Amino acid sequence: MGSLIINGEKIPFTDIATGSYKSTDPYFQQSLDFCKAWLLGKETFELQTSGSTGKPKTIIVARIQMEASAKGTGQFFNIQKGASLLCCLNTEMIAGKMMLVRGMEWDADVMLLKPIANPLAEIGEARFDFSAMVPLQLENVINNADTSSKLSDITYLIIGGAPMSEILRKRASAYPNSIYQTFGMTETVSHVALAKVGLQQSPVYKALPGVKFGQTEDRRLVISSPMGRENRLETNDIVQLISDEEFIWIGRADFAINSGGVKIHPEEIENQILPVLEKTFPGKNYFIFGLPDDTLGQKVCLLIENGQVGENQARDLQMQIQALVSKYAVPKAFFFLEPFTVTASGKINRRATIERLA
């Protein structure tokens, strides 16, 4: 059986199961408590959804679902027993908990770090077979001269929690190791599909073993998987379905804007205008959203995480965007607000941020 490595100390999972190891740090102790419950065969777990697309809620997840998720990921990457894992995600959330589950199910050694902006700044010259990060962590690792070279020391790295920007995908694709963007949700206990990071603007997501995809009439993705709570899960994700095992993600149905009878998916527009925003507001978050409009029904708006800018700069930004998107998708209004509201797992909470404009 593998072990958990905390502050350089290697603790066998067998010792965690008996409760013979305790930590004075509350974060590490709650991770140990979860591992102990898992190792003693607990059958159900309460998990919090992130709240990025709705109100956070508590759901009950069965052990068998989490086992299926760990098994599917292990098969996808052909992870062998005794592998070395890096866990740098919040273990109070599903993504971090699943890193612990993978370690226990794969008989792996798991280095456990607190979730910080640049996790590789906390390690020495260690190499890892597998790890998971959120896009912000990956960006900070790449931007730091001392850690950017360490990224290649992770054989398989999955990125989840939020979509990667086109610029980040391009930068990550320059590394020789295998980096994947994930697709999943708390209801499917982590990811059900993975897309290899490369130069393509619309990455293709491939199903984990045992997962199948379908689609509703309005193009929403339907998931059938052993890690889901139900055999058929209808999502609010609009996709281009390639086969029952592959799709291209378009955006969230609940974020869609109906402007003059034309349906616009904000995430598509956000990718298209990225070059302009990176040039004008480098490093700033932004997103497209809709507001009620007497003529159009909804008008397209752009919200940027920044202080108020001049009218001329906003007009110039609008003209640059016009060259990149269809006439229906050009923002009719610009808003500036900082900081954006985020969820407990670090995702931008669009609804809560928009509500602050009122």
Residues of the chain with CATH 3.30.300.30: 256-355
Give the number of other Cβ atoms within 10 Å of residue 102's Cβ: 24
**346 has a pLDDT exceeding 90:** no
Half-sphere exposure for 54 (CA within 13 Å, toward CB): 10
In the structure, what pLDDT confidence band is assigned to residue 162 with cuts at 50, 70 and 90?
confident
**53 has a pLDDT exceeding 60:** no
Burial of residue 295 (CB within 10 Å: 0-12, 13-18, 19+) is exposed
Q: Is the dihedral of CA 336, 339, 343, 348 positive or negative?
A: positive
**52 has a pLDDT exceeding 60:** no
The whole-chain average pLDDT of the chain stands at 90
Give me the mean pLDDT over the 176-181 stretch: 93
pLDDT of residue 241: 97
Half-sphere exposure for 89 (CA within 13 Å, toward CB): 29
pLDDT of residue 345: 62
Q: What percent of the chain clears pLDDT 70, i.e. is strictly above it?
A: 96
Q: Can you name the CATH fold of 256-355?
A: GMP Synthetase; Chain A, domain 3 (3.30.300)
Among 111-115, 206-210, 229-233, 337-341, the range scoring the smallest mean pLDDT is 229-233
Tell me the three state secondary structure of residue 52: coil
Neighbouring residues of 24: CB distance < 8 A, sequence distance ≥ 6: none
Tens of pLDDT, residues 218-261 = 899 999 999 887 778 999 999 999 999 999 998 888 889 999 88
Tens of pLDDT, residues 269-320 = 998 898 899 888 887 889 999 998 888 889 999 999 987 777 788 888 899 9
Tell me the three state secondary structure of residue 123: coil
pLDDT of residue 55: 61
In the structure, what pLDDT confidence band is assigned to residue 30 with cuts at 50, 70 and 90?
very high
Dist. CA 338–CA 284, nearest whole Å: 10
Tens of pLDDT, residues 132-142 = 999 889 999 99
Tell me if the bond preceding 331 is cis, omega within 30° of 0: no
Dist. CA 173–CA 346, nearest whole Å: 24
Tens of pLDDT, residues 95-115 = 999 999 999 999 999 999 999
Unique residue bearing structure tokens 């959330």: 93
- Residue-wise burial string across 61-79, b where 16 or more C-beta atoms lie within 10 A, e elsewhere: beeebbbbbbbbbbebbeb
Query: Is there a contact between 163 and 68 (Cβ–Cβ < 8 Å)?
Result: no
**86 has a pLDDT exceeding 80:** yes
Q: Give the distance from CA 339 to its chain's centroid.
A: 20
Residues of the chain with CATH 3.40.50.12780: 3-253
Per CATH, the number for 3-253 is 3.40.50.12780
In the structure, what pLDDT confidence band is assigned to residue 51 with cuts at 50, 70 and 90?
low
Give one DSSP letter per residue of 66-117, joined into a string. HHHHHHHHHHHHTPPTT-EEEE-S-TTSHHHHHHHHHHHHTT-EEEE----S
pTM of the model: 0.81
